[in-house]
Chains A and B, each alone.
Chain A
Amino acid sequence: MVTQEMVTASATTTFDKLELDSGVTLGPVDCAYETYGALNADRSNAILVLHAFSGDAHAAGEGGWWSNMIGPGKAFDTDQYFVICSNVLGGCRGTTGPGSINPETGCPWAMTFPSVTVSDMVRLQKLLIDYLGISRLLSVSGGSMGGMQALEWAAAYPDSVASAIPIATTARHSAQQIAFNEVGRQAIMADPDWRDGNYYGGKAPARGLAVARMVGHITYMSDASMREKFGRRLRTPDQFEVESYLAYRGYKFVDRFDANSYIYITRAMDTFDLTQRGSLPSLFERARTRFLVISFTSDWLYPSYQALEIVSALRSRNADVAYCNLEARYGHDSFLVEVNEQTELVRGFLTSTYRDLERAQPKKGGAAARA
């Protein structure tokens, strides 16, 4: 009963054009999205969920990347809320990206695709939200790159988001984070099959992309979780368990991800820097958005000091912010896999946000107000 009909809509909509930070106007732009639950009459219960680097629009239901967080009775309770998730700009899962066809040439864009930023991604999401007829989101939430988008939403469209839940994220990548992404990009570009990005219709740079993914997976885990999961166990007499796992992850990734999207999206993450637009406190000056910021103790890729930077900026504006550094063992992956405590926080935060909002804005058409 619970599993069926989880997805209430799975669609792709096309927008004529999208202005990019680079100055380029891209168009037409496809945006793939899914929705779960039902929009209420006031259109006040919509939550936009934002996927991380390798995610897609399929967030909930069978195989959804956040299926343990979205659904009836879950943190993002689809019995109460209307949950939306779309694939990011530059992606390869239905939304326009480097693997899409350039209408001017009839060929895939490949590396001629214009560079994209996190704020471009959010601008496309804003078009989608407008298209869906929602003027103000109850919440925007995501982990990692999803958290960057949530922050960008709050900074760029403060009046359109009642609350934001950035998780395991940062206002800007550190040198370490950029370095790991660069290793991934170089692995792809070093693969002879990459051919400067022009591999569409031929052999994809699978070895490079797999290596990139292997590096990524190491950064998503913690020393403790790797010790627990693999230790020094052998898979075969001359292969460690951990080697076999990474190889499996790498090659599985190749089937569903485009190498050029890897390059474009990691660049968007690396160039994301909220502070470039002004000091963090001044960015949130207009924000009447309520925040719940979450980090994880074992996340060494997005350490808690990065969350605290955001939280301190918000507190210096006396913004409404809750923050918790959750005890977790699984490193950066915690926001995807260790969700019991995260669920408690998100559920409580959304419940009170929704209740306060409903209190502040009495229902339209309720009672004979004209009398």
Chain B
Amino acid sequence: MREVYGRRDFAIIGELVEPKSTVLDLGCGDGELLSWLKEHKEAEGRGVELTAARVQKAIARGASVYQGDLETALDDYPDQAFDYVILSQTLQETRYPLHVLKGMLRVGRRAIVAFPNFGHYTVRWSMLRSGSAPKTALFPYDWWDSPNIHFFTVLDFEELVRRENWKLERRIFLAGHRQVRLLANLTAEIAVFLVSGC
């Protein structure tokens, strides 16, 4: 889990996670969210993280983290093993996002997906003005070294949820340190979705 607004992320995700549930955090970094959920929500957590140094930190802080690639790691877990599967700020980096989302809803009853909104007005403006691939605070990379390989908006994600007949249970839109409600596809920097299978 990469932090966007620091510990504020935890509060948002904490809002979505019922106490005493089981949680799988994909791309869990150094396990900070898992520790936070254990401490504040008595959640039983597991994590998947690719980078060895982060895995080390996560295990050192007591989190049960598996070093591996999240796209293939999902395949090993049994059906409906978790109450929640969390994917924060990583969906746009996965090779097969739909496969990942389906996997999340197979191993978990609910999926919590947070992603940077490519529809944010700064992104649109950056591209319109410069004619180049957008570079903004949200998408700070040059195109040739960006980890982001899929670009999608709030609208795109909701369209996919409809197409797959998933149930959209909650959505939270964030801009800076506040929540936004109006014209989310234009104003939200980060979108957090709580989705369940059908």
A interface residues, Cβ below 8 angstroms from B = 290, 292, 308, 311-312, 315-318, 320-327, 341, 344-345, 347-349, 351-352, 355
Contact = CB atoms under 8 A, between A and B. Distances in A.
A301 B57 CA distance: 26
Contact of B60 (A290, A315, A321, A348): A348
A345 B52 contact: no
Given A292-B59, A324-B65, A347-B60, 7 more contacts: A312-B76, A315-B66, A316-B77, A320-B44, A323-B68, A324-B59, A352-B62
B66 A311 contact: yes
Contacts of A355: 62
B81 interface: yes
B66 A344 contact: no
A323 B66 contact: yes
B66 A348 contact: no
Contacts of A308: 68
19 contacts: A292-B59, A312-B76, A315-B76, A316-B77, A317-B78, A318-B77, A320-B46, A320-B64, A323-B67, A324-B52, A324-B59, A324-B67, A325-B52, A326-B56, A341-B56, A344-B59, A348-B61, A348-B62, A352-B61
A312 B67 CA distance: 11
B52 A351 contact: no
Contacts of A316: 76-78
Given A292-B59, A316-B78, A345-B59, A322 B52 contact: no
B59 A349 contact: yes
Interface of B: 44, 46, 52, 55-56, 58-68, 73, 76-78, 81
B62 A344 contact: no
Contacts of B81: 318
Contacts of B46: 320-321
A327 B52 contact: yes
Closest 5 CB pairs of A and B: A352-B62, A348-B60, A318-B81, A315-B76, A344-B60
A298 B178 CA distance: 48
Nearest to A307: B67
Contacts of A351: 62
Contacts of A323: 55, 65-68
A324 to B, nearest CB: 5
Contacts of A324: 52, 55-56, 59, 65, 67
Contacts of B62: 348-349, 351-352, 355
B60 A322 contact: no
B133 to A, nearest CB: 34
A341 B55 CA distance: 11
